[in-house]
């Protein structure tokens, strides 16, 4: 699409975010807070790949979107041979977009779409702010860190992954979360809305918006035993999953969870992967968790995320390879120990940073030299 500059009294920003919701939604959360802080005097242009979810999601949210041909490294494939050319073209597109929009700042959230936009920002001498949602930096963010005016980190421990000369640019603000989670919702009402018993202890099991195959297989295998447990389950499976095993009355099986706030409110314990957004949300709601990191994560970021939460006392960690045997015993142990769950809940709450999006937005405005009045 054609991009033009907004009026001079508007804070302008170019955002690189794509590939997964874990990169897109933190960026959207920050932009929404910038819009709020500037009383709507903000103009944002998003950039991403030409064939991933951002091509539909970003326009649906009402933001201009500029696609790039950039793609991730796919091993010994024919597309890999053309990757350098696609990177070069993507940098050129990003520079053209920056020149047209004349942003005060550029935000990059990681993954391969961030690299060409970050490089373009540096070459066009526009302040670059990098958001790193995981404990350890991804490949693109590692390369951009030394060029950034500021890095927004999710964990205090993340500082250890960067050289000492970057310390002044590192800001531990948390992972921006877009969804407005009502931490005051009543558990009993939330359970009733799921069609569950209002006073019965509840476990929330999910594997992300697309589900998680090994988690689903482990839950399916355990259904006959779960039927006799004194607790009930909300089980989010992802699209297209069906089970040949009879689902007992104390299990509510759903493909999607459109209202995560309601699901968290209903739960006494959460069993999930350890993606950055999930970990951030758990900190906001203060829910004890059993985390099962995705083993195929590119820089083992889910393992790192889970480990730091466990070290802080907010979660237990089990490995994907042992999930079939360990899922039910791990849940039983915690559901039979309310004191342990309470202690974990307090630890998880201490890690939560509910104002991360607002604080990151303020940092972007500061780095971008915004002189307008803030709300």
- Tens of pLDDT along the chain (375 residues) come to 667 666 678 999 999 998 887 889 999 999 999 999 999 999 999 999 988 889 999 999 999 999 999 876 555 555 566 778 999 999 999 999 999 999 999 999 998 899 999 999 999 999 999 999 999 998 999 999 999 999 999 999 999 999 999 999 999 999 999 766 888 899 999 999 999 999 999 999 998 655 588 999 999 999 999 999 999 999 999 888 889 899 999 999 999 888 899 999 999 999 999 999 999 999 999 999 999 999 876 678 999 999 999 999 999 999 999 999 999 999 999 999 999 999 999 999 999 999 999 999 999 999 999 866 555
Element of type H or E holding 299: none
Integer-rounded Cα radius of gyration of the chain: 21
Q: Which residues contact 230 (CB under 8 A, 6 or more apart)?
A: 200, 201, 335
Nearest to 318 by CA among 336, 306, 304: 306
Q: Is there a single domain that holds both residue 338 and residue 361?
A: no
Q: Is there a single domain that holds both residue 60 and residue 192?
A: no
The pLDDT value given to residue 4: 66
Does residue 6 belong to any structural domain of this protein?
no
Residues linked to residue 130 through DSSP beta bridges, in sequence order: 108, 151
Q: Is there a single domain that holds both residue 154 and residue 197?
A: no
Q: Is there a single domain that holds both residue 25 and residue 127?
A: yes
Q: Is there a single domain that holds both residue 73 and residue 93?
A: yes
Does residue 375 belong to any structural domain of this protein?
no
Q: Are 140 and 118 in contact (CB under 8 A)?
A: yes
CATH number of the domain that residue 100 is part of: 3.40.50.2000
Does residue 292 belong to any structural domain of this protein?
yes
Q: Which residues contact 132 (CB under 8 A, 6 or more apart)?
A: 110, 138, 141, 151, 152, 153, 154, 158
Vertex 79: Cα angle to 73 and 80 (nearest 5)? 45
Does residue 360 belong to any structural domain of this protein?
yes
Whole-prediction pTM: 0.89
> SS3 letters for 135-183?
CCCCHHHHHHHHHCCEEEECCHHHHHHCCHHHHHHEEECCCCCCCCCCC
354: left (phi over 0), alpha (psi -120 to 50) or beta: alpha
The pLDDT value given to residue 93: 98
Decide the pairing of beta strands 42-49 and 128-132: unpaired
Structural domain span for residue 339: 187-351
Does residue 374 belong to any structural domain of this protein?
no
Q: Are 25 and 178 in contact (CB under 8 A)?
A: yes
CA 186 – CA 358 distance, rounded (Å): 26
Backbone angles phi, psi at 127, to 5 degrees: -55, 135
Does residue 110 belong to any structural domain of this protein?
yes
Does residue 323 belong to any structural domain of this protein?
yes
Provide the domain count of the chain.
Answer: 2
Q: Is there a single domain that holds both residue 200 and residue 241?
A: yes
Q: Which residues contact 258 (CB under 8 A, 6 or more apart)?
A: none
Residue 314 DSSP label: S
Q: Is there a single domain that holds both residue 116 and residue 238?
A: no
CA 60 – CA 345 distance, rounded (Å): 36
Q: Are 175 and 30 in contact (CB under 8 A)?
A: no
Q: Is there a single domain that holds both residue 47 and residue 167?
A: yes
Does residue 372 belong to any structural domain of this protein?
no
Residue 125 DSSP label: T
Q: Which residues contact 107 (CB under 8 A, 6 or more apart)?
A: 13, 14, 15, 16, 17, 27, 30, 31, 129, 130, 131, 364
Q: Is there a single domain that holds both residue 76 and residue 171?
A: yes
Q: Is there a single domain that holds both residue 153 and residue 294?
A: no
Q: Is there a single domain that holds both residue 94 and residue 170?
A: yes
CA 202 – CA 12 distance, rounded (Å): 45
The pLDDT value given to residue 211: 59
Q: Is there a single domain that holds both residue 319 and residue 243?
A: yes
């Amino acid at each position: 699409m054609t991009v033009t500059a907004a009026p001079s009294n508007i804070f302008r920003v170019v955002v690189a975010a794509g590939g997964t919701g874990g990169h897109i939604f933190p960026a959207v959360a920050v932009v929404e807070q910038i819009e709020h802080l500037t009383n709507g005097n903000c103009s944002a242009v998003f950039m991403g790949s030409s064939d991933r979810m951002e091509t539909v999601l970003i326009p649906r949210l009402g933001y201009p979107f500029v696609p790039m041909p950039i793609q991730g490294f796919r091993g010994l494939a024919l597309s890999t041979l053309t990757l350098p050319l696609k990177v070069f073209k993507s940098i050129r597109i990003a520079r053209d977009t920056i020149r047209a929009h004349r942003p005060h700042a550029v935000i990059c959230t990681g993954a391969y779409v961030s690299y060409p936009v970050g490089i373009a920002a540096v070459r066009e001498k526009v302040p670059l702010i990098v958001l790193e949602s995981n404990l350890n930096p991804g490949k693109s963010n590692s390369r951009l860190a030394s060029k950034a005016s500021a890095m927004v980190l999710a964990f205090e421990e993340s500082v250890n992954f960067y050289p000492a000369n970057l310390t002044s640019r590192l800001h531990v603000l948390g992972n921006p979360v877009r969804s407005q989670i009502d931490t005051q919702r009543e558990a009993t009402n939330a359970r009733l809305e799921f069609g569950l018993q209002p006073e019965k202890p509840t476990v929330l099991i999910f594997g992300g918006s697309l589900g998680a195959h090994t988690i689903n297989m482990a839950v399916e295998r355990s259904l006959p035993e779960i039927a006799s447990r004194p607790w009930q389950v909300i089980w989010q499976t992802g699209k297209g999953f069906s089970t040949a095993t009879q689902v007992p009355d104390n299990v509510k099986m759903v493909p999607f969870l459109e209202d995560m706030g309601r699901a968290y409110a209903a739960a006494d314990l959460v069993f999930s992967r350890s993606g950055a957004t999930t970990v951030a949300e758990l900190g906001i709601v203060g829910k004890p968790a059993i985390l099962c990191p995705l083993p195929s994560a590119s820089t083992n970021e889910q393992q790192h995320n889970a480990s730091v939460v466990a070290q802080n006392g907010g979660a237990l960690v089990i490995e994907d390879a042992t999930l079939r045997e360990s899922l039910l015993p791990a849940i039983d142990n915690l559901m039979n120990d309310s004191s342990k769950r309470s202690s974990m809940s307090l630890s998880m709450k201490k890690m939560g940073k509910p104002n991360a999006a607002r604080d990151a937005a303020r940092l972007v405005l500061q780095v971008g030299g915004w002189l307008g009045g803030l709300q």
